[in-house]
């Protein structure tokens, strides 16, 4: 080893130390000092690029990551980071190429795969000026992701739909399609029904598109009404599609509209299947596209020990029979804090017992990181000093639902999680899913937030998103949670926005006026009525919400038994009344937009400015206000 090598190693160690301590100016000097000695020193180039990104010098970061890639073409981290920087600079095509390179070099790298999925989720393809050859390339990329089971496929549904239906044969046909005439005998429809990407979309993501929903509803009806002649026509050859459709319908809880004629034919088909000794997989799959197989007791007995040679059919049986049975058994293993007695809590509990929400099949695998690293990312550009290192954070997820949020909290390094919910059905769903993922650091408890004062421990981190606004008194619920928070602790809240939910209020009034009930039939009838109400522009906004496309999410969106809405002055008052410090909103995209309007608010934490911003952009918090706060340090 030469003297230069020894010097470089010492300087690099010092540079890294300064970088970690946020002494960016000194770290930059040291990295550049190394590069004067060795202009190809990969680590110095890589970390100098990282430093440039942290200080928002994105053009410099891009140049440096390009140098890093030139020196080590197979370094997937360099490609991955180059993709993230290209995205910041608005170069979507370059970002896509970098993310793909990272994924191809290391298909098992969690960050590269997740970044690719997030990029596809958030990118408007119209910004990319795609050529015909690009669609083939993007389709192959989507197939890589859809064949995996470690992302949320619904996140990339819109991107996948756009790529698939941009293909010339589908694009031309669907521009002219007439849903009032038979579809199954059309050769282009037949091609679609055997498309691997289309089948994977049905199996793994929620179809969040009205035209596609109506097309699938029409095809399902045609298959059902022609089942007696299925061996003599094209239907029998589409078993893979029918199974995929059955999985989609179970996933969306049978949100597609059903005519009386279809219901009558389904009832006759049930009787036919019950009388037969031999299992007809096509008939079972068709039934599963109209109602859950686990609800058919006599047919359930026949399928109990049935093993098909068709892997996809076995997956259907697992989804519609075995998994609900597991959840039923798991209910008995979940402890209850005490009996739930509050009248509003009981109503909310009943809703989620009937319709656990949200439904999900797969989610992202994440790299476990220290909690403060995750917090810094969520509240940036704000950055806070906390003496406590959160090395083994005790986390409370208050209102965990079906567990998707638990999967995010689980990735806080060395965390111990207590997840509570009103609904045993939701908790059983959550436990089944996290057991499948082999998570060991989660305890589930059946409880009302109103009873949590009975707990004997406190928490470093509390997350309560989308829960308090469904309580009779959200402030009372918040007070209980804050009493459970350690003095150094932080809490994440999610509350509905009054401004962003005017269309929801309008829809709730429409429901009340027309006396729709919240049964599956009532929700299907209501959705059909909303779809047909073409002259009502405010009501039409509901159709564009992703939550419109399953029974449980539609019920949560517009049929909820209890809902409060807030504005930012109210939230500001709540923060002041409880002597809290606002740390920041969690949505980076929203903050980037806000920063352009209010560049003087370097930390993005001035709620009076955020109120002005929301007045200008009332749909900003259409999901909800998601933000972090902590007790003020005195």
Contact in structure between 313 and 286 (CB atoms under 8 Å): no
Q: Give the pLDDT confidence score for residue 127 in this predicted structure.
A: 64
Residue with tokens 């996933």: 251
Q: What is the topology classification, in CATH, of domain 74-163? A: 1.25.40
**How far is it, in rounded angstroms, from Cα 536 to Cα 558?**
16
Among the residue ranges 118-127, 134-143, 279-288, 361-370, the one predicted with the least confidence is 118-127
**How far is it, in rounded angstroms, from Cα 608 to Cα 597?**
13
User: Which secondary structure element, helix H or strand E, spans residue 593, and what is its range?
Assistant: helix 588-597
Q: What is the DSSP letter of 318?
A: I
- Show the tokens assigned to 430: 């959550």
pLDDT tens digits along 359-384: 999 999 888 889 998 999 999 999 88
Q: Give the pLDDT confidence score for residue 587 in this predicted structure.
A: 94
- Show the tokens assigned to 369: 């990181």
Selected from 3.40.47.10, 1.10.287.370, 1.25.40.10, 2.160.10.10, the CATH number assigned to the domain covering 1-72 reads: 1.25.40.10
**How far is it, in rounded angstroms, from Cα 350 to Cα 562?**
12
Domains 1-72 and 74-163 belong to one CATH topology = yes
Q: Find the mean pLDDT for residues 445-472.
A: 97
| H helix runs in 72-195, sequence order | 76-88, 92-105, 110-122, 132-146, 157-165, 168-176, 187-193
Long-range pairs, 438-444, Cβ under 8 A, ≥24:
439/406, 439/407, 439/410, 441/410, 441/415, 441/416, 441/417, 442/406, 442/410, 442/417, 443/416, 443/417, 443/418, 443/419, 444/334, 444/335, 444/400, 444/419, 444/420
Q: Give the pLDDT confidence score for residue 609 in this predicted structure.
A: 98
Annotate 339-367 with three-state secondary structure: CCCCHHHHHHHHHHHHCCCCCCCCCCCCC
Q: Is a pLDDT exceeding 60 seen at residue 231? A: no
Q: Find the mean pLDDT for residues 406-426.
A: 94
**How far is it, in rounded angstroms, from Cα 91 to Cα 141?**
18
Supply the Cα-derived Rg of the chain in whole angstroms: 27
* End-to-end CA, the chain: 53
Contact in structure between 576 and 508 (CB atoms under 8 Å): no
Q: Give the pLDDT confidence score for residue 233 in this predicted structure.
A: 55
Q: Give the pLDDT confidence score for residue 1 in this predicted structure.
A: 45
Residue with tokens 């521009």: 175
**How far is it, in rounded angstroms, from Cα 601 to Cα 597?**
9
**How far is it, in rounded angstroms, from Cα 613 to Cα 619?**
10
Q: Is a pLDDT exceeding 50 seen at residue 198? A: yes
Q: Give the pLDDT confidence score for residue 232 in this predicted structure.
A: 47
pLDDT tens digits along 406-415: 998 888 999 9
Domain ranges of the chain: 1-72, 74-163, 177-329, 343-498+565-631, 500-558
Q: Is a pLDDT exceeding 90 seen at residue 90? A: no
pLDDT tens digits along 542-563: 999 999 999 999 999 999 999 9
pLDDT tier at 507, thresholds 50, 70, 90: very high
* Nearest-10 Cα torsion for 556, 558, 561, 565: 90
Contact in structure between 490 and 629 (CB atoms under 8 Å): yes
Contact partners, residue 126, CB within 8 Å, separation at least 6: none
- Show the tokens assigned to 627: 């933000």
Residue with tokens 């002259």: 535
pLDDT tens digits along 295-333: 999 999 889 889 999 999 999 999 999 999 999 999 999
Among the residue ranges 19-28, 330-339, 416-425, 564-573, the one predicted with the least confidence is 19-28
pLDDT tier at 236, thresholds 50, 70, 90: low
Selected from 3.40.50.2000, 3.40.50.150, 3.40.50.300, 1.20.1560.10, the CATH number assigned to the domain covering 343-498+565-631 reads: 3.40.50.150
Residue with tokens 């690719």: 116
CA–chain centroid gap for 211, Å, is: 22
Contact in structure between 607 and 571 (CB atoms under 8 Å): yes
Question: Of 246, 211, 164, 247, which Cα lies nearest the Cα of 543?
Answer: 211
Question: Of 207, 79, 203, which Cα lies nearest the Cα of 149?
Answer: 203
CA distances from 178 to 24, 175, 181, 224 (A): 62, 9, 6, 19
Q: How many Cβ atoms are within 10 Å of 399's Cβ, its own excluded?
A: 26
Query: In the structure, how many helices (H) and strands (E) does the chain have?
Result: 31, 8
- Show the tokens assigned to 86: 């290209």
Report strand pairing: 416-421 vs 442-446. parallel
Q: Is a pLDDT exceeding 90 seen at residue 112? A: no
pLDDT tens digits along 6-54: 688 899 999 999 998 889 999 999 999 999 999 999 999 999 999 999 8
pLDDT tens digits along 575-616: 999 999 999 999 998 999 999 999 999 999 999 999 999 999
Q: Give the pLDDT confidence score for residue 121 in this predicted structure.
A: 86
Residue with tokens 């050529």: 131
Q: How many Cβ atoms are within 10 Å of 48's Cβ, its own excluded?
A: 26
User: Is the whole-model pTM more than 0.85?
Assistant: yes
Report strand pairing: 442-446 vs 459-465. unpaired
Q: Give the pLDDT confidence score for residue 55 in this predicted structure.
A: 86
Q: Is 446 exposed, middle or buried (0-12, 13-18, 19+ CB in 10 A)?
A: buried
């Amino acid at each position: 080893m030469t003297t230069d090598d020894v010097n470089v190693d010492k300087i690099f160690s010092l540079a890294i130390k300064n970088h970690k301590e946020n002494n960016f100016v000194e770290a930059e000097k040291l990295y550049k000092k190394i590069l004067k000695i060795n202009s190809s020193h990969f680590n110095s180039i890589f970390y100098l690029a990282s430093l440039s990104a942290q200080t928002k010098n994105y053009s410099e970061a891009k140049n440096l990551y390009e140098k890093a890639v030139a020196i080590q073409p197979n370094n997937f981290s360099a490609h991955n980071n180059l993709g993230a920087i290209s995205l910041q600079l608005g170069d979507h095509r370059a970002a896509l190429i970098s993310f793909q390179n990272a994924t191809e070099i290391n298909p098992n790298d969690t960050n590269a795969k997740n970044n690719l999925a997030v990029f596809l989720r958030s990118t408007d393809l119209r910004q990319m000026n795609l050529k015909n050859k690009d669609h083939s390339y993007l389709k192959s990329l989507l197939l890589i992701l859809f064949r995996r089971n470690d992302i949320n496929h619904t996140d990339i549904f819109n991107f996948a739909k756009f790529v698939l239906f941009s293909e010339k044969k589908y694009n031309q046909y669907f521009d002219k399609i007439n849903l009032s005439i038979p579809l199954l005998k059309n050769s282009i429809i037949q091609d679609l029904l055997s498309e691997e990407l289309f089948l994977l979309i049905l199996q793994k993501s929620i179809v969040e598109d009205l035209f596609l929903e109506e097309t699938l509803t029409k095809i399902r009806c045609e298959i059902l009404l022609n089942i007696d002649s299925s061996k003599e026509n094209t239907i029998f050859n589409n078993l893979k599609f029918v199974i995929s459709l059955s999985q989609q319908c179970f996933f969306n809880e049978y949100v597609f509209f059903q005519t009386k004629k279809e219901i009558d034919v389904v009832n006759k088909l049930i009787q036919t299947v019950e009388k037969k000794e031999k299992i007809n997989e096509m008939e079972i799959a068709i039934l599963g596209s109209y109602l859950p197989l686990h609800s058919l007791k006599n047919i359930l007995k026949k399928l109990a020990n049935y093993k098909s040679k068709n892997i996809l059919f076995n997956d259907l049986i697992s989804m519609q029979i075995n998994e609900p049975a597991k959840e039923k058994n798991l209910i008995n293993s979940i402890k209850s804090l005490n009996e739930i007695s509050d009248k509003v809590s009981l109503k909310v509990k009943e809703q989620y017992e009937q319709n656990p929400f949200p439904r999900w099949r797969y989610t992202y695998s994440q790299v476990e990181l220290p909690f403060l690293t995750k917090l810094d990312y969520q509240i940036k550009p704000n950055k806070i000093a906390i003496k406590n290192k959160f090395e083994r954070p005790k986390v409370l997820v208050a209102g965990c639902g079906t567990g998707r949020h638990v999967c995010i909290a689980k990735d806080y390094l060395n965390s111990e999680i207590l997840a509570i919910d009103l609904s045993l059905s939701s908790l059983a769903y959550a436990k089944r899913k996290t057991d499948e993922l082999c998570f060991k650091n989660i305890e589930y408890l059946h409880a009302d937030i109103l009873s949590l004062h009975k707990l004997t421990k406190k928490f470093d981190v509390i997350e309560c998103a989308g829960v308090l606004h469904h309580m009779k008194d959200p402030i009372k619920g918040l007070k209980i949670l804050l009493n459970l928070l350690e003095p150094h602790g932080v809490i994440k809240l999610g509350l509905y926005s009054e401004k962003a939910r005017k269309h929801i209020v309008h829809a709730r009034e429409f429901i009340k006026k027309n006396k729709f009930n919240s049964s599956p039939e009532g929700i299907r009838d209501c959705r059909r009525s909303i779809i047909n109400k073409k002259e009502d522009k405010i009501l039409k906004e509901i159709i564009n919400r992703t939550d419109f496309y399953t029974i449980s999410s539609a019920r949560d969106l517009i049929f909820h038994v209890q809902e409060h809405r807030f504005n930012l002055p109210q939230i500001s008052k709540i923060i002041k009344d409880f002597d809290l410090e606002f740390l920041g909103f969690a949505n980076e995209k929203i903050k980037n937009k806000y920063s352009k309007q209010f560049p003087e608010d370097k930390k993005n934490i001035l709620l009076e400015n955020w109120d002005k911003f929301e007045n200008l952009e009332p749909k900003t918090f259409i999901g909800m206000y998601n933000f972090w706060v902590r007790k003020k340090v005195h």
